[in-house]
Amino acid sequence: MDLEYTPEEQDFRRQVAAWVAANAPAPEKRKDLEELRAWQRRLHAAGYLGAGWPTELGGAALSPMQQAILNEELARANAPGPINAMAIWWVGPAIMKYGTEEQKKRFLGPILNAEEIWATGYSEPGSGSDMAAARCRAERDGDDYVVSGQKVWTTIAHFSDWYFILVRTSTEGPKWAGLSLLLIDMKSPGVEVRPIRQITGDSEFNEVFLHDVRVPVANLLGREGQGWEIVTSALINERTGIAGSVRFDQSFERLVAAARQHGRTADPLWRQRLADLAVKARVTKSFGLRAMSDSLHGRFNPHSSAAMKLFTTELSQRFSETGIDLLGNYGILWEGSKRTPDDGRSAYFYLYDRAMTIAGGTSEVQRNIVAQRVLGLPRGS
């Protein structure tokens, strides 16, 4: 197996690194919505956006290896991702696969140019990761569906224009069989968004309440009862898109620097703990190389992505826990304090990373997928 980059790939890496350094938004502007829209448009104009999209629909003409190199360099520069990432990775491909020609013409262009931002609505109160238990109801009334119910943990709903939402159109048969997928204008009468204040102080997630919201039947994606198929294919795209080896390498470098600063490098227990993280970071990189090899050779195992998601999100928590432990009492200081060694970075990520093993499917769900569909173990009674 040859793991070396070709001269052409190395040239592409240098080109991307130089472009990102010249074009990425300044750190202080990375919470400004219009600046992030402009950043996505720059990525698109440069040919770096939508690598999984057909070029005739505006997708980037990048090979899988070039896409991997691009992702590595964006991570290395700590550049923000596209503001419409969920739509580019999941909503757009779902519309390409299941949508009508009218839906493709209407929605795909504004996704890539960040004219319309999308949120995705799966989780509901009381059902957790069991999406098949969704109760948000859509009842047919002439040329409309009337939608009532609640979604929770909806990322960026507070500034999104459209909603890719799983609803129940039937109670007949297995619970997953009565689910459908609707495309809802977030400005529709009856849509109420309430930001959720997180433990970090941010409000990235939201509750969304739908009070008799009328949605044209033309906004049904696929056919009635096909929602489960559409959503599960979208989540496969989500989980296979996780590639954090560069960020783990950066986190490891910060931990080693902190260990030296606090005199922990001679402690055998700390040396072992850091070595364990170094090994797991290398395993993450090998995961990514395996996924890349599968892509290049036309192999696809949708269930191995569950193992990758499980491993990387739990490792994120191990890294942030180690950062807090290394700093001791200083680790609980928040940003803005002159006495905080890293301006609160460790405290922030310790709190933020608690959600990593829930978002995109809990660790418990991923373990069940690996046990049943990868290892072939029987389902528990």
Active site residues: 238
Length of the chain: 381
> Using CB atoms within 10 A of its CB, is residue 168 exposed (0-12), middle (13-18) or buried (19+)?
buried
Instruction: Identify whether the C-beta of residue 173 lies closer than 8 Å to the C-beta of residue 127.
Output: no
Residue with token string 């826990």: 321
Residues 279, 245: contact at Cβ < 8 Å?
A: no
Helix (H, G, I), strand (E, B) or coil at 151: strand
d(C-alpha 161, C-alpha 164), whole Å = 10
For residues 254 and 240, what is the distance between their CA atoms, to the nearest angstrom? 27
C-beta of residue 42 within 8 angstroms of C-beta of residue 82: no
Distance, in Å, from the CA atom of 353 to the CA atom of 358, rounded to the nearest integer, reads 10
